[in-house]
Amino acid sequence: MAKAYRPSHSSPQQEKLMRGLSYQHVARAKAGPRRHLWMSGAFVLLVAMYLVNMTQAFADTGKAIFEQRCAQCHTIGGGKLVGPDLKDIEASRKTDWLLHFIQSPQRVIQSGDLAAKSLAAQYGMVMPDQALSSTEIRGILTYISQTSQGAIHVSAPLTATPAAAAQPSSLQIMAGSRLFTGQTRLTHGGAACISCHDVNNSTIGIAGGKLAVGLTGIYGAIGADGIKAMITSPPFAPMAMAYKDHPVTTAETVQLIAFLQAANTSKATQAGTRVANHMLAAGGLGMLAILAVMNLIWIRRKRVSTKHLIYARQVKTH
């Protein structure tokens, strides 16, 4: 009769090896969750670093655009300038509204938006449409947000009240007036300011253009530094294009600032810009002269058709 099988006893070395393998298995089982936790934490950290870098990239891009396109009219915590102070702007306006308004203020106002119409009435002008993408505008808003919170230090902004400036000489004021009206041509051939702007001042006999805001009180609003920034780095697309290849010289800028300072000082005593009588007379005489020349040129013109002349000769022959 066969004997029942009984497993042989393990040696001490085998038992020690089995205990070691069992310990390693348990250690790995315990380490598994911790390893996954570390991996998850590292992933979250990388995502956070990426988002921080992206936010900073947005802010850097926004800073460059703001300084080029916005700083001439707006401050961040420096008070009103040509336009409103933009500190904490996203706390008072929704992001979507800001995106639409910055891209096309004209369209938002025409839509009947009360907030946009109120801004236009308060500041007496409408910000021109900006050829900026949504990404660029978000960068500007990110920069404004960080600056508002003190995360970005900015140099002292332009203030609405200009610093005390030396009274310009009468020669500077007259030179600036002539540059403004185009009586003196700008050195690099740029368009005269009066083409788009009006100034209520007795030294100017005709009304200026209405394409852009009137400049009678611009010195009182933004001061010499603000006017200089407007001239040297125009924030408005039409002005930037007009002077891109025709920059205004430093001396001309000083003279224009002197004229606008004088216009702001004397604005209370100005009765209003009028078209000078000699301009009306010259225009009337010019029109009469043109009509006279046209009449002399066409005095021997045919007064009837060629067909009528042929018919008349045939009738005369018969």
* Residue 243 domain-assigned (yes or no): yes
Same domain, 180 and 243: yes
Same domain, 249 and 295: no
* Residue 109 domain-assigned (yes or no): yes
Same domain, 197 and 242: yes
104-118, 160-174, 244-258, 284-298: least confident range: 160-174
- Which of 96, 145, 105, 97 lies closest to 125, judged by CA? 105
* Residue 110 domain-assigned (yes or no): yes
Residue type present at position 24: Q
| Dihedral over alpha carbons 200, 205, 206, 211 (to 10 degrees) | -40
* Residue 184 domain-assigned (yes or no): yes
Q: Each residue of 10-27: pLDDT tens digit?
A: 566 656 555 555 555 555
Counting the structural domains of the chain, the total is 3
Per-residue pLDDT at 286 exceeds 80 = yes
Same domain, 265 and 282: no
Query: Are 211 and 238 a contacting pair, CB within 8 Å?
Result: yes
* Residue 160 domain-assigned (yes or no): no
Per-residue pLDDT at 254 exceeds 90 = yes
**What single DSSP character describes residue 304?**
S
Query: Which residue range is the domain that position 249 belongs to?
Result: 170-269
Q: What percent of the chain has pLDDT over 90?
A: 18
36-40, 114-118, 314-318: least confident range: 36-40
DSSP per-residue letters across 63-127: HHHIIIIITTT--SSS--SSS---TTHHHHS-HHHHHHHHH-HHHHHHTT-HHHHHHHHHHTS-P
Same domain, 261 and 282: no
What's the rounded mean pLDDT across residues 287-293? Answer: 90
Query: Are 264 and 222 a contacting pair, CB within 8 Å?
Result: no
Per-residue pLDDT at 310 exceeds 70 = yes
Same domain, 201 and 251: yes
Taking all residues of the chain, what is their mean pLDDT, rounded to a whole number? 77
Q: Give Rg (Cα) of the chain.
A: 38
* Residue 191 domain-assigned (yes or no): yes
Q: Give residues with Cβ within 8 angstroms of 189, minimum separation 6.
A: 246
Q: Each residue of 103-130: pLDDT tens digit?
A: 888 889 889 999 988 888 887 777 777 7
Residue given tokens 């852009």 in the structure block: 212
Same domain, 142 and 175: no
Look at residues 148, 180, 202 and tell me which one is the last residue of a structural domain: 148
CA distance 160 to 73: 10
* Residue 132 domain-assigned (yes or no): yes
Same domain, 291 and 265: no
Same domain, 282 and 257: no
Tokens describing residue 132: 């900026």
Per-residue pLDDT at 161 exceeds 50 = no
Q: Each residue of 163-196: pLDDT tens digit?
A: 445 688 999 999 999 999 999 999 999 999 999 9
Per-residue pLDDT at 39 exceeds 80 = no
